[in-house]
Amino acid sequence: MNITWFLVLSAFLFVIGAAGVLTRRNPLVVLLCLELMLNAGNLALVAFSRMHGGQAGQVFALIVMVIAACEVVIGLGIIVAMYRNRLPIDIDEMSELRG
C-alpha cells in the first residue's frame, strides 16, 4: 500500500481527463473532463496529506472542491445561455478570440 500507487493512479486519471478535454467537442463533456482533472488533483493532495500526516492537504482538497463547484455553475450557465441564444453547442464554433 504505497503512496506511490495512489499518485500513479492520480496521474493516469489526470491524463485521461486532459485527453478528453482535447478531443471532445461538446462543451458539456469538456467540462466533465475538467472535473476529472480536478479530482485527480484532489486524490494526489489527499495522498500527500496521508504521507506527511498533516491535514493541510485535505483542507486544500476541500477548497478545490469548492472551486470546482463554482466553475461548474458558471460553465453550465454559459452553456445554457448559449443554448438560449440558439448558438450551436460546439466548442469549435466559439472561435472569436483570435488575432
Partner 1 sequence: MWFEQVLFFVAGIGALAGALGVVVVRNPFYSVLALVVHLLALAVLFLLLHAEFIAAAQVVVYAGAVMVLYIFVVAYIGGADEPLRPDGGMLHSFGPLFAGAIGVELCIAFIASGLDALDTRGADLGAGFGSPAEIGQLLLTRFLVPFEAASYLLLVAAVGAVVLARRRRGLEDIGALEEVGAPPDRREPPSETTLEVRV
Partner 2 sequence: MSGTSYGWLVLAFPLAGTLVIAFGWLRPGGLPGRLPGWIASGAILGAFLSSIGALIELQDQPEDARSLVDSAWTYASTGDFKVDLSILVDPLSVFMCLVVSGVSFLIHVYSVAYMDGDRGYHRYFAYLNFFVFSMLLLVLAANFVVLIVGWAFVGAASYLLISFWYRRETATRAGIKAFVINVIGDVGLVVAAFLLLDKTGALDYAGVFAQADQVFTHNDGTLVAACLLILVGAFAKSAQLPLHTWLPDAMEGPTPVSALIHAATMVTAGVYLIARTHPLFELAPAAADVGAIVGTATLVFGATVALAVTDLKRTIAYSTISQIGYMVLGVSVFAYGAGLFHLMTHAFFKALLFMGAGSVISAMGGIQDMDRMGGLRKAMPFTFAAFTAGALALAAFPFTSGFFSKDEILAFTVERGGWYLVLAIAGYAGALLTAFYAFRMVFRVFYGNPVAEARELEQGHLAHHAPANPATGEPEDTDVGFPAEEHHIAERERPMRAAMGPLAVLALLAGLVQVPGVSDVIEKFLEPSFADSHFHDTAPSDGSEWIGLVVGGLISLVGIGAAYHAYVRRRGVTLELRDRFPRVHAFLVNKWYFDELFEALFVRPVATAGGFGRAVIETRFVQGFIVGGATGVVRVGSSFARSIQTGYLRGYALLLLLGVALLALYFLLASS
Q: In angstroms, rounded to a whole number, what is the distance separating the alpha carbons of residues 51 and 90?
A: 42
Q: Scanning residues 40 to 99, which ones bind partner 1 (CB under 8 A)?
A: 42-43, 46-47, 49-53, 55-56, 58-59, 61-63, 65-74, 76-81, 83, 85-89, 92-93, 96, 98-99
Name which of partner 2, partner 1, none residue 41 binds, using a CB cut-off of 5 to 8 Å depending on partner kind: none
**What does DSSP assign to residue 96?**
-
Q: How far is the CB of 54 from partner 1 (least distance, A)?
A: 8
